Each structure stands twice: as C-alpha cells, then as structure tokens.
Amino acid sequence: MSIINVKNLSHGFGDRIIFENVSFRLLKGEHVGLVGANGEGKSTFMNIVTGALQPDEGKVEWSKKVRVGYLDQNSALEKGQTIRDVLSSAFQYLYDIEAEIGDLYMEMAEVDANMDKLMEEVGELQDIIDHSDFYQINAKVEDVGRGLGLHEIGFERDVDDLSGGQRTKVLLAKLLLQKPEILMLDEPTNYLDEEHIAWLKQYLLDYENAFILISHDMTFLNSVINIVYHMENGDLTRYVGDYEAFQGVYDMRKKQLESAYKKQQQEIANLKDFVARNKANVATRNMAMSRQKKLDKMDVIELSAERPKPKFDFKKGATSGKLIVATEDLVIGYDEPLSSPLNLRAERGQKIAIVGANGIGKTTLLRSILGEIKPVSGRVERGEKLEIGYFEQEVKNDNGKTALQELWDTFPAMNQAEVRAALARVGLTTKHIESKVQVLSGGEKAKVRLAKLMNAESNILVLDEPTNHLDIDAKDELKRALKEYKGTVLLISHEPEFYQEIATEIWNVEKWTTKLF
C-alpha cells in the first residue's frame, strides 16, 4: 500500500525545468535514498511532497491519518525555550491527550454524566498513551539528545544562543522523537560529527517506519537505504537496493543505452546515405522510399545531456613566510572559554585538518586565528605575506544577484565570457549561471563561492566544512585540487574519507575543549 503517490509531476523556475511528468510512490516501511547531482531538484521535490511548494502540474496524494516529519532547517525556535523544552515538545500530542483524559474525569463527576461513554473514551485515549511510552518521555529525550551530542551543548541552554548547526541538531532530535510514519531528512549529517553520524545510522537502520533521505555522504546513505530514486535531467527513476546496487545497475543501463545509440546512429547514417544516392534513380526509387519510411517510423534513441563535471584549481599567490600562524596560550571563546590554553603552530605548505565534535570551537578557533574575533586570553601571531582564501560554513546571500553578477562584481576586470567560463568550470550550467544565487541549491551556491576562491590568488586556504552540500563528483574533484594545491590549507571537516588523504597534520579540538562530554 502506498503512503505517498506522486503523479505526473512537473515543475520549474522560469524557463528552467526541474521535473517533467515524473511519478513517485512510497510504500510502508521503505527506506528511500533520493539521489542526484547538485541542482537536480532533490530539495525542491521534498518541498513539493510536504506541501511547502506547489507544483506547476501533477498531484501529490497522501494516505489518511499519516504523520509526516520533515527536517526543515528554517523552522523557528522560540527565545526562552531550552533544548529540553524543544525536545519534550515532540510529545505535545501526548500531553494534550493526558489533559483530555483529565477533562473526561472531571465530566464523570457531573450528576448526569454518561459514564459508559466517558469510560470508553478514557480507555481509548489511555491505550494511546500506554502504547507511546508516555511515561518514558524523559528517558527518550535524554537518549536521543545524547546520541546527537546535545548533552555537550547543555539541555538547559536557551535555543536562541545556538549556532545554525546546533539549531539543526535540535530540530533533528525533536523530529526523531516524534517518530512519524514518514520521516523526511534533507542532509541530516551536515552538522554531525563521526560519533553522532554512527548513532543516527543505527537509529535509521532500526527505524520501522518509512523515510526519505537526501545525503551526499554516500557511505552513510548506502548503509541505511533499501530503495533509490534517482533524479537526472528532469526524470525520476526507481531502483531496488542500496546505493552500490543502484550504481551498478545505472552504469550497466547507461552503457547499454550508449551502445544501442551508437548502433542506431550508424544505421540511420547508412539509411540516409542510401536514400540520398538512390531516390533519383528510377530502378532503385522504391527501395529508397522503403528506407525513408523506415527512417520516419524509427523510434530514435536520445542520450541524456551530460552534466558538466566540476574542475577546481586554486591560484597560488606569492610565497608566504615560513610561519603561517602561531598561538601562545590562546584561549578561544565568547562569553566563556571554549578551550584550554593552546600553543599551536602552522608552517608554509602544511595541510591541517581541524576535527572534533560539533559545538566545541572548531570554527571559533579558525576565526580567532584569522583575527575575526578576539581571544579570551593569549595571543596569535600571523606570518608575513599571507594571502588568505576563506570558505565560511554559513553564508546568507539574499542580495538578488545572479551567479554571473556575483562573480563579476567580485572580479570586475574580467569580461563576461571569462566570468561565464569560470562558473562553467566549477560545474554550473548556463541556467545556473543566469539564475539568482538565492534560488540555487546548496551545492550550486557552494560552487559559486568556490569559483570566487579559485579566481583569487592565495597562499593559504581556510575551509570550514566545504563539502556539506557538494555531490560526489564535486567532493572528489575538490579533494584532488586540495591535494595538488601548493599553498597551506586549514580545513574543518567531519568526513574522514575526505580529509585523510589531504591532511599532513590533524588538530583534534576535543583534546583541548573545556566542554564536558
């Protein structure tokens, strides 16, 4: 039985087609991976299915009385609420039922109360509570909160004080606690470290209800799904099995189609040549007409347009001094210290991965090193002739500019052809280049920012979670480019498979943090 049926769905932005006449179904208990390159429309599809966005054509049909949970990173968290308050609110429907039971007992005290009817209603509501582990709510809140690392932040912390990544973790924890019939997760691992990704993996493996998952962490995705829906060039295709099984079938079908296409193109060329040579000859005219009819009736195979592959190369600036940065008893933090005194040193040519749990100061360390925030105590010495290229984790861009305008304004000396070529080089199509940045996918926005870094000379790259929204091709290419970069790299990443081949040294912030685990 289908929980969701999507029929003949079409949608686009302006003249850019995202989906064209696609269909989708979700069966009870299916664990679906929604995959495709950056910009194919995965998040847009999620928004349409949940009703946040209306399609141009087609319809979405839901089964009755189905609870759906969607990880929406734009959900509001009210100032004054603690993390514990937000997580406990996942069970608000049960608290409401408890209050309703109390009201029914009050009605029983009335003289003319219909006791049989009221007792039946109380019994039905009590069954719901008993089967929902209502009396284990506090333990469940602690378990899920600890699994996602919220105990490190503090359950009594005001949610208004949290970073964007921490807020996302709170929203994810609340969603898991709600345990809906359909769980919809869009890049849930972006703000999780290795330990918490492992916990979420086990949670999803044990999840008896259905879920739809978007993730560019292919190791994680492959381990938890049993169905793949692949988005490509406006189409949506269903595959049974995990991501590795999908890749095998997809590659085989692609090769078969390419082989059939080449064979058919050769046949078409031969038929056209025969018709051209023989249609004017009386003796062979009928044969030529017969071949022309065959041509006219032929179902011509079309190959999907290949998406441009990104190519990242970072311009090396002037050679820096030997010292990049040195800290002397540096204590990082804002209102409170986040670290013990740090004595760190980075030298020219080193590639340093900064790792550790979220919320313990990795980004704060980077910003302190760059001089963007003042340390709590201690000092930072920066070397000479530093040309820094900085990729921030969270950047809000709603200035209304197109990708073309964004890059051109940064590099006004370039002509339009050069700007377009620079954006195409990172894997953006003409449609992306001419679209406003604010309507691009997370991966496409990241590529625009990487294009800025690529076209500015640098001798040190400072990258804060650069792979969060990148697809597998872009991740692989960025890894190659950073390995070949001749300058210094300071990289924050929670993906060992990405940073381990790049890093010459690893700084584990967990060794220095003042936060309790």
Q: What is the pLDDT along the chain (517 residues), one digit of tens a residue?
A: 688 999 999 988 766 778 889 899 999 889 999 998 887 888 889 889 888 888 889 988 888 878 888 876 556 677 888 999 889 888 888 888 888 888 888 888 887 778 888 888 888 888 888 777 778 888 889 999 889 888 878 888 888 888 777 888 898 999 899 888 899 998 888 778 778 888 999 999 999 899 999 988 888 999 999 999 999 888 899 999 999 999 999 999 989 999 999 999 999 999 999 999 998 888 888 999 999 999 999 998 887 766 778 999 999 999 999 999 999 999 998 878 888 899 999 999 999 999 887 767 888 999 999 999 999 999 999 999 999 999 998 776 667 899 999 999 999 999 999 999 999 999 998 888 998 888 888 889 999 999 999 999 999 999 999 998 888 889 999 999 999 999 999 999 988 889 999 999 999 988 887 764 4
Does residue 173 lie within any of the structural domains? Answer: no
| DSSP-derived secondary structure letter, 475 | H
User: Do residues 455 and 358 share a domain?
Assistant: yes
Q: Please identify, among 304, 336, 369, the residue that sits at the C-terminal boundary of a domain.
A: 304
User: Do residues 337 and 228 share a domain?
Assistant: no
User: Do residues 373 and 468 share a domain?
Assistant: yes
User: Do residues 277 and 336 share a domain?
Assistant: no
How crowded is residue 88: how many other Cβ atoms within 10 Å of its Cβ? 19
User: Do residues 45 and 97 share a domain?
Assistant: no
Q: What is the CATH number of the domain that holds 201?
A: 3.40.50.300
Specify whether the backbone of 333 is left (phi greater than 0), alpha (psi in -120 to 50) or beta: left
Does residue 318 lie within any of the structural domains? Answer: no
Q: Is the pTM of this model over 0.75?
A: no
Does residue 445 lie within any of the structural domains? Answer: yes
User: Do residues 374 and 492 share a domain?
Assistant: yes
How many residues are there in the chain?
Answer: 517
Cα four-point dihedral sign 419, 423, 425, 430: negative
Does residue 74 lie within any of the structural domains? Answer: no
Q: In what order do the strands lie in the sheet with 323-331?
A: 345-347, 323-331, 377-382
**Which residues 6+ apart lie within 8 Å of 315 measured at CB?**
454, 455, 456, 457, 458
User: Do residues 292 and 392 share a domain?
Assistant: no
User: Do residues 335 and 435 share a domain?
Assistant: yes
Four-point Cα dihedral 200, 201, 202, 203, nearest 10: 40
Distance CA(426)–CA(466), nearest Å, equals 14
Which burial class, exposed, middle or buried, applies to 76 when counting CB atoms under 10 A from its CB (0-12, 13-18, 19+)? exposed
Does residue 230 lie within any of the structural domains? Answer: yes
Whole-Å CA distances, 227 to 223, 241, 255, 279, 388: 11, 5, 22, 53, 43
- Please tell me the total count of domains within the chain: 3
At 2 the pLDDT is 82
At 15 the pLDDT is 67
Question: Which residue range forms the structural domain that includes residue 414?
Answer: 323-511
At 260 the pLDDT is 93
User: Do residues 258 and 112 share a domain?
Assistant: no
Does residue 199 lie within any of the structural domains? Answer: yes
User: Do residues 196 and 103 share a domain?
Assistant: no
At 312 the pLDDT is 95
Distance CA(443)–CA(454), nearest Å, equals 16
User: Do residues 59 and 89 share a domain?
Assistant: no
Q: Please identify, among 304, 338, 369, the residue that sits at the C-terminal boundary of a domain.
A: 304
Q: Please identify, among 242, 272, 304, the residue that sits at the C-terminal boundary of a domain.
A: 304
Identify the residue whose tokens are 């991976």: 33
Does residue 171 lie within any of the structural domains? Answer: no
Does residue 174 lie within any of the structural domains? Answer: no
At 32 the pLDDT is 96
User: Do residues 185 and 154 share a domain?
Assistant: no
